[in-house]
Amino acid sequence: MQNKKTIITYGTYDMLHIGHMNLLERAKALGDYLIVGVTDENYDRSRGKLNVSQSTADRVKAIEALDFVDMVIVEKHKNQKAEDMVKYDVDIFAIGDDWVGAFDYLNEYTHVEYLPRTEGISSTKLRKENFDIIKMGIVGLGRDTQAFIDESGFVSSIKVNRIYANDFLELKAFTKEHKTIKYGHDNYDEFLDTSIEAVYIDTALEQHYTLIKRALEAGKHVLCENPLALDKGELKELLSLAKREKKLLLSALKTAFLPAFNQLLQELGTGVIGDIKEVRATRTSLYKEKDYADTFIQQGATNILSSYPSLLVNKILGKSKNITFFDQEEEGYDINNLIVTQHKNGALGISNVAIGMKSEGDAVISGTKGYAYIPAPWWLTKTFEFRFEDSHKSHTYKYEFEGCGLRYMIAEFSSLIQRGKRKSKMLSPSDMVGINRVLLEYNDSKKNKNKKEEEA
Ligand code: CTP
């Protein structure tokens, strides 16, 4: 008997359609055994495919259900195709002719065949037909406003066309300069009364709570810069309000949505470095007074920056039990803070944040078998390495990183709204509460210290 002929093909297969089915049938007809590689969501996002509507698991399930497909695998990174050719002893790599030439380099491993694509249908087209574009407004003229506008241009499901700011002159200058932002409002109620469905808040930190509350009460989904709230109880109150109003409230902690960051968490979950005993992360930034208002700097390093290391620590080790602060103060606010948190089974989180000192912004996750190293700036995760005592076993993961990273967060925010979801797996309400807890405890400890000093 002749050897079976193995065919392999890859794709996203979002909202499985007749074009996909035709292609897969054509591919199967080339041989006996058809392997389909479905792209992982983190890989898709890292190669700029930001608007996929179904999760990897749902897309895999849909392909598995097809009679003529024999095996489904998940494609996680760029070099995997060549590895798969060898691993599965592939005879033909088949792909639609929209890719002509793009995979010729694989001829080194197998025979590459470009098959005719079905005209008039695509996942992009189906997404456009099935999902409405979300109208969004910006609240404030903050540090990331410009970047947010630029990056939202890469997310096809969202349209940013309004802005609210309380400084009329600044607002006028801004709308004059930005042709896509057609409408400027200096009255928040009027702004909220328009047809926008969602807002992005980027204002002074102490205004966040009130602005979020009013937006949720007006029935808008909210994406807000960190931290969402500076006082105890406020974040939980806002999350309950969002739940009651059936709206999405998401913290704009961009690291949480980066493809490489999510891939790192996935890999750690497989136990690659054993039991995790310690997570260390540093985030420092030298804010210049000329660039940032005094009131911003006076919020101190912990309020401004701790959400980032707290994200890494909480995502890996879960909720913190005890929190200890070793802070350095100048002119009444912390310029440097070493935050030590204790977690389940005694694991330690060590976060260093500073605005009055510069340090190496890397992160190390230590386990019983080895450790993960994320080079600076770890919060813009592009690459990470698993290192072991036997250095031959060490391996590095590298991901593409487009723009300043905001587009991944904007894509997740809009995709959740479109799918009627009110929680992100990448940054759940309980993640947000855990992250916020660190700075709340710090603010509390500072208040108590000041009170004691006044009484003494
Ligand atoms: N395909 C096809 N005919 C179509 C659409 C896709 O033959 N009308 C093929 C592609 O060439 C590829 C496979 O189906 O080999 C998976 O493509 P994918 O990119 O997942 O589908 P698209 O509909 O092209 O998705 P998108 O619009 O998001 O790019």
User: What CATH number should be reported for the domain holding residue 289?
Assistant: 3.30.360.10
Same domain? 312 vs 230: no
Ligand 1 geometric centre to CA of 78 (Å): 18
Same domain for 267 and 205, yes or no, is: no
Nearest ligand 1 atom to the CA of 97 is 11
In terms of domains, do 113 and 156 share one?
Answer: no
Question: Mean of the pLDDT values across residues 104-116?
Answer: 96
Considering the domain architecture, whether residues 53 and 117 belong to the same structural domain is answered as yes
Domain count across the chain: 3
How many Å lie between the centroid of ligand 1 and the Cα of residue 174? 40
Q: Which residue, chain included where needed, has tokens 């803070």?
A: 337
| Contact present, 116 and 26 (Cβ < 8 Å) | yes
CA-nearest of 232, 228, 229, 236 to 253 is 228
Q: How far is the CA of 11 from the centre of ligand 1 (A)?
A: 7
Pocket of ligand 1 (CB under 6 A): 11-14, 19-20, 23, 95-96, 98, 117-118, 121-124
Between the alpha carbon of residue 411 and those of residues 47, 249, 276, 406, the distances in Å are 14, 15, 31, 9
Please tell me the distance between residue 21's alpha carbon and the centre of ligand 1 in angstroms.
Answer: 10
Q: Which two tokens stand for residue 66?
A: 């097809």
* Separation of alpha carbons 69 and 28, rounded Å: 8
109 in the same domain as 30: yes
pLDDT at position 141: 86
| DSSP conformation class of 248 | -
Residues 268 and 190 in one domain: no
Q: Of 243, 247, 240, 239, whose CA–CA distance to 218 is shortest?
A: 247
Instruction: Give the number of residues written for the chain.
Output: 456
Give the distance from CA 152 to its chain's centroid: 14
The H or E element that residue 221 is part of is: strand 221-224
Which of 117, 127, 155, when mutated, tests ligand 1's pocket best, judged by the most ligand atoms within 8 Å of its CB? 117
Containing H/E element for 395? strand 395-398
Residues 301 and 358 in one domain: yes
The two tokens of residue 65 are 């259900």
pTM of the full predicted structure?
0.89
Q: Which of 212, 235, 254 is at the close of a domain?
A: 254
Which run of H or E residues covers position 296?
helix 294-297
Q: Are residues 14 and 121 in the same domain?
A: yes
Which percentage of the chain shows pLDDT scores above 70?
A: 98
Residues 250 and 264 in one domain: no
Question: Is 249 in contact with 212 (CB distance < 8 Å)?
Answer: yes
Question: 331: pLDDT confidence band, cut at 50, 70 and 90?
Answer: confident
The answer to whether the peptide bond before residue 309 is cis (omega within 30 degrees of 0) is no
**Residues 415-438: pLDDT tens digits?**
999 889 999 999 999 999 999 999
The overall average pLDDT reported for the chain is: 93
Q: How far is the CA of 63 from the centre of ligand 1 (A)?
A: 13
How many Cβ atoms sit within 10 Å of the Cβ of residue 300?
Answer: 25
Q: Among 194, 206, 184, which residue's Cα sits nearest to residue 139? A: 184
For residue 330, is pLDDT > 70? yes
354, 229: one domain: no
Sign of the dihedral through C-alpha 102, 105, 106, 111: positive
Last residue of a domain, one of 125, 151, 181: 125
Q: Give dist(CA 249, CA 261) in Å, integer.
A: 21
Domain that holds residue 280: 259-400
Last residue of a domain, one of 125, 155, 186: 125
User: Which atom of ligand 1 lies nearest, measured to the CA of 23?
Assistant: 7
- Amino acid 407 reads R
Q: What is the pLDDT of residues 379-413, one digit of tens each?
A: 999 999 999 999 999 999 988 888 899 999 999 99
Q: Taking the C-alpha atoms of 167, 168, 170 and 171 in order, what is their torsion angle to the nearest 10 degrees? A: 110
Residue 291 has pLDDT above 80, yes or no: no
Q: Is 47 found in the same domain as 145?
A: no
Distance CA 359, CA 282 (A): 8
Q: What stretch of H or E contains 199?
A: strand 198-201
Rounded alpha-carbon distances, angstroms, from residue 267 to 79, 263, 272, 385: 17, 6, 7, 11
